[in-house]
Amino acid sequence: MKFTIGTDIGGTNTTTGIVDPSGKIIRSHSFRTDDYDDSQQYAAQLAESVTSLIQQTEAELGGADVEWLGMGIGAPNGNSLRNSIDHAPNLRFKGEILLADMLNQHLKLPTIRLANDANAAAIGEKIYGGAADYDHFIMITLGTGLGSGIYVDGKLVDGQHGMAGEVGHMSVIPNGRYCNYHRRGSLENYCSAMGIRRTFFEMLAETGQASKLNHLPIDDIDSKLIAKCASEGDAICKDTMEFTGRLLGEALASVALVTNPAAIFLFGGPVQAGDILLSPTRRSFEKHIIPTYQNKIKILTSELPLGEAALLGAAALVLTNK
């Protein structure tokens, strides 16, 4: 039986799972990423986590007919050309971390690959999700930030520096909201979970009306609550989701004009809001796309299970031939 290993590196936790040939995660292990500020010590801990999972799996299966195809890692600011993590703002180890090389000193695996987490999710969608039949598609991951992965001609686009698919940083409103990096007006500051929260405050300011959420501490307001409250008819929350969908649809139309995909897959917490987000997104997309593309590009929701996508995507890195 052929297994892959997937690791999802987040700012808080690092989770590794063993994935069977059907795409099922049969065993996993987590430890805290932010316990480490030294990348060598972190790599040693990650290698230990992997080794232990391998040993448990082999023990359970009696060692019979077990083959390890390799390990894939999804990480913020992952660079798939060098299998490194480059200057990730939300990790404690800085600079360019050649993580795959470090792990190879501890592990004996046929391959260790690393990619940006959203790029890994795109590969996951292609191999385990809804994109199996698409050669040209775009994966959009909506979480705290907004990530993306671009498929062209059946292959993930790495780009010249291994950093393609960063559409969350596209400028959508000149001189708009403040972002990190002293930039302004980029997509993820409007359409990620964090952006939806900011829009809620903007709607409070703009309309001067009250929301059903007004009794809550500001710290408790999040995109999930806003979506729920919008579905229950709260005007401020409805306006928030409508604005988010409108801007997301307009931005996705801009992205689609670059590579002309067959479909755009949306993934992540905010997508769970359903039609209250998806309807204005699709409407705005069709409004902003040019006639030759109209009604040709589908906006779909990811078919990856929400809690497992990052791991599955990372593991799927091993299964691409590049």
Nearer to a second copy, 128 or 151 (CB): 151
Of 249 and 313, the one with the shorter C-beta distance to a second copy is 249
The answer to the question of residue 183 lying near a second copy (CB under 8 A) is yes
Number of residues that bind a second copy (CB under 8 A): 49
Question: Contact with a second copy (CB under 8 A): which of 160, 205, 217, 233?
Answer: 160
How far, CA to CA in Å, does 108 sit from each of 78, 171, 208?
22, 43, 61
CB crowding 180-202: b at 16 or more within 10 Å, else e: eeeeebbbbbbbbbbbbbebbeb
Closer Cβ to a second copy, 61 or 257, answer by number: 257
CB of 157 to a second copy, least distance (A): 5
- Asked if residue 274 binds a second copy (CB under 8 A), the reply is no
Closest CA to 319 of 133, 156, 141: 156
> Which is closer to a second copy, CB of 25 or CB of 255?
255
Selected binder of a second copy within 262, 279, 301, 320 (CB under 8 A): 262
Provide the β-strand partners of residue 85. Answer: 78, 97
User: Considering beta carbons, is residue 24 or 296 the nearer one to a second copy?
Assistant: 296
Nearest distance, CB of residue 55 and a second copy, angstroms: 37
Torsion sign (Cα): 248, 254, 258, 263: positive
Name all contacts of 220-226 with Cβ < 8 Å and 24+ positions apart: 221/197, 222/193, 222/197, 223/193, 223/194, 223/196, 223/197, 223/269, 223/270, 223/273, 224/193, 224/269, 224/272, 224/273, 226/196, 226/197, 226/200
Could you say which of 94, 105, 287, 305 contacts a second copy (CB under 8 A)? 287
Measured distance CA(172)–CA(195) in Å, rounded: 13
Binding to a second copy in span 1-60, by CB under 8 A: none
Segment near a second copy (CB under 8 A); pick from 34-42, 139-147, 158-166, 214-222: 158-166
Q: Which of the stretches 26-34, 55-63, 225-233, 244-252 binds a second copy when contact is defined by CB under 8 A?
A: 244-252
Q: Specify burial of residue 89 (Cβ count, 10 A radius: 0-12, 13-18, 19+).
A: exposed
In sign, the C-alpha dihedral spanning 181, 186, 189, 193 is negative
| Options 291, 295, 307, 321; binder of a second copy; rule CB under 8 A | 291
From 96, 98, 130, 129, select the one nearest 113 (Cα to Cα).
98
Under the criterion CB under 8 A, does residue 77 sit at the interface with a second copy?
yes
Residue 153 sits in the site that holds a second copy (CB under 8 A) = yes
- Contact footprint for a second copy (CB under 8 A): 77, 86-87, 135-136, 148, 150, 152-153, 155, 157-167, 169-174, 181, 183, 247, 250-251, 253-255, 257-262, 287-288, 290-293, 296-297
